[in-house]
Amino acid sequence: MRFIKVSSTNFRNLELSSEINVDHKKVLLIGDNGQGKTNFLELLYLLCYGNSFRTSNLRDIVNFKEKSFYISGIFEDERGLKRNISFIFKNGTRVIKIDNKQITDRKELIYNIPCIVFSHSDLDFVNGQPESRRKFFNQTLSMYDSLFFDDFRYYSKIVKQKNMALKESSLELLPIYDQLLSQYGLNIMRARIKAVYEMNQIFPELYEKVSGIKNVKIKYKPSWKNCSTEEDIQKILEKNRDRDLILKFNTTGISRDKFLIEGDNGDLSTSGSTGQLRLASLVLRATQSQFYKKKTGKDPVLLVDDVLLELDIKKRSTFLSLLDGYSQAFFTFLPKEQYFNDDSEDTDKMVLTVCDGGFI
């Protein structure tokens, strides 16, 4: 699976009114800061998932003085068939089409092109708020498990309904909400436990290869401790009902689970150096890529956005050598950065110079 061509109109500063061919396994985007390299990766990500990894407000993406944007791409699917995706944002509304057929649920989009982005904000997965780490693992599971995607969607909807009932002190529906939360929440908790176990077969080894540091692992701490059945969870929910009514929101559950990166000295967010934290965030993404391939047998598309500068040259080289299981990868570099050998036999590589939103 790979992108063949892409185009855009009024998308940030990009000038891609005519299609640009990117039909290579490795695409290097070279340019100074602020020229449009990250914007190009954002365009690809939007075509994969229907949202941005940089902003939750699509109006931020529209080029200055314009009111809408349009992007499109031709990609090759796992069967080798060429297909197209288009995305229009206008008047606050997005319209997404696959093969010229409008989709009504983003779920129809996200399983077409598996895409993993390495960005500076990934540092939040290691030392940011617990919500950021939960988001990473939710995304990891949703990439290949449509049942998890549905369970999480239903769980989130029920929590909102329960919170509304708590605000209104409406007691009659609370037992029903708790029964549903226990059902979907247990599915989510079990999926997270399994995923962390399997990712810990990958993450520690990758981290050690690059850093030389052993015993750095992912740890999962569920909010519902020692619960193995729906009945166990319902007892906790019922026990906390009085507190929920006072605070006017649901106070326990998978939305309060914690994920940590731990080494011999404890939580890496408090014991690790800046370099160790950055490396851990990179290795998490590399683990996500390898984990996805093990679960599905498919190679994802990688978007690597200028995240290697904080690593020394040796660690950069070692880390890049770990990124071999991908169908296509886009890398952004500053001029004169040489992270790859200049191999004239690498015929499936292209270099694009980015300047003021244009490509040479």
Residues 28-53 have pLDDT tens digits of 999 988 889 999 999 999 999 999 99
Measured CA to CA, the distance from residue 43 to residue 234 in angstroms comes to 44
Q: How much is the pLDDT for 336?
A: 76
81's CB contacts (< 8 A; 6+ apart) are none
Decide if 103 contacts 123 (C-beta within 8 A): no
Write down all domains in the chain, each with its CATH number in brackets. 1-114+298-360 (3.40.50.300), 123-297 (1.20.1050.90)
Whole-prediction pTM: 0.90
302-351: pLDDT as tens digits: 999 988 877 878 888 888 888 878 999 999 988 877 666 655 556 788 99
Q: How much is the pLDDT for 45?
A: 95
Token pair 């176990």 is found at: 197
The per-residue b/e assignment along 25-49, b for 16 or more CB within 10 angstroms, e otherwise, is ebbbbbbeeebbbbbbbbbbbbbbb
Type of residue found at 276: Q
Q: In which element (H, E) is residue 99 found?
A: none
DSSP per-residue codes, 189-242: HHHHHHHHHHHTTTHHHHHHHHH-----EEEEE-SSTT--SHHHHHHHHHHTHH
pLDDT at 84 over 60: yes
CA 259 to chain centre: 16
pLDDT at 158 over 70: yes
Cα distance between the two ends of the chain: 24
Q: How much is the pLDDT for 308?
A: 80
